Structure 1
Amino acid sequence: MTGTDADSIEDLPPSAKLVFKVLEYNGSLTQKQIVNESMLSARTVRYALERLQEIEIVDEDIYFADARQNLYTLDEQAIVADGGPDEACCAE
């Protein structure tokens, strides 16, 4: 999907932008932790994470404290290439 207009954070749905901000403020989190922090449903968070992974903004790793879960982290290099986190947020 790289190389299209849908590759930037600006083009994502609001739920994905919120998940992005939660990860930006809190660092690496599991899906369950993102659900608790964002107050979104687990299904919505899962969809948002899929969208963020499609544009290669979020990395998924094994959560060693509980191998049944994954740990999600923002890819700092991708964020810088996309114009930085400040441009990714909604207009105020």
Structure 2
Amino acid sequence: MDAAEDVLEDLPPSAKLVYKVLEYDGPKTQKGIVEESMLSARTVRYALERLENRDVVDEDIYFADARQSLYSLTTIPDDAETEAETAT
């Protein structure tokens, strides 16, 4: 089981779906996630909040429309990458 699966294990299905949408499609606005996942806006907000609390999703400014945020996955380092970084 990898690090992402460990973090997602006890989250609701909606949060897992939002994670997968971001994983496959890359950074998206909340509106883009709603359209892609076919979940309600409220459900997507809740899922993003849960994912942000786990530090799996980053919220950035969406420069095309400052009223919206752009959500993307944070990088979860593998054990091998972490060991390589500490060795240098």
**Do these two structures clear the TM 0.5 threshold for a shared fold by scoring above it?**
yes
For residues 9 and 81 of structure 1, the distance between their equivalents in structure 2, rounded to whole angstroms, comes to 15
Alpha-carbon distance in 1 for matches of 2:71, 2:65 = 13
Q: Which runs of 5+ in 2 are unaligned?
A: 1-5, 80-88
* Aligned twin of 2:66: 67
Instruction: Return the letter of the residue paired with 1:41.
Output: S
Counterpart-to-counterpart distance in 1, 2:47 and 2:14: 6
Structural RMSD (CA)? 1.5
1:55 counterpart letter in structure 2: R
CA distance in 2, matches of 1:45, 1:72: 11
- The residue type paired with residue 62 of structure 2 is Y
Identity of aligned residues (%): 73
Aligned 1:26-45 pairs, distance under 5 A = 26-45=25-44
CA distance in 2 between counterparts of 1:42 and 1:55 reads 20
TM-score normalized with structure 1 length: 0.76
Aligned residues: 74
- Greater radius of gyration (CA): 2
Runs of 4+ that moved beyond 6 A: none
What are the ranges of 5 or more consecutive residues in structure 1 without an aligned counterpart?
1-6, 83-92
Q: What CA deviation, in whole Å up to 9, does each residue of 1:17-72 have, x standing for no partner?
A: 00000000000000000000000000000000000000000000000000000000
TM-score by length of 2: 0.80
Distance 2:7 2:73 in 1: 14
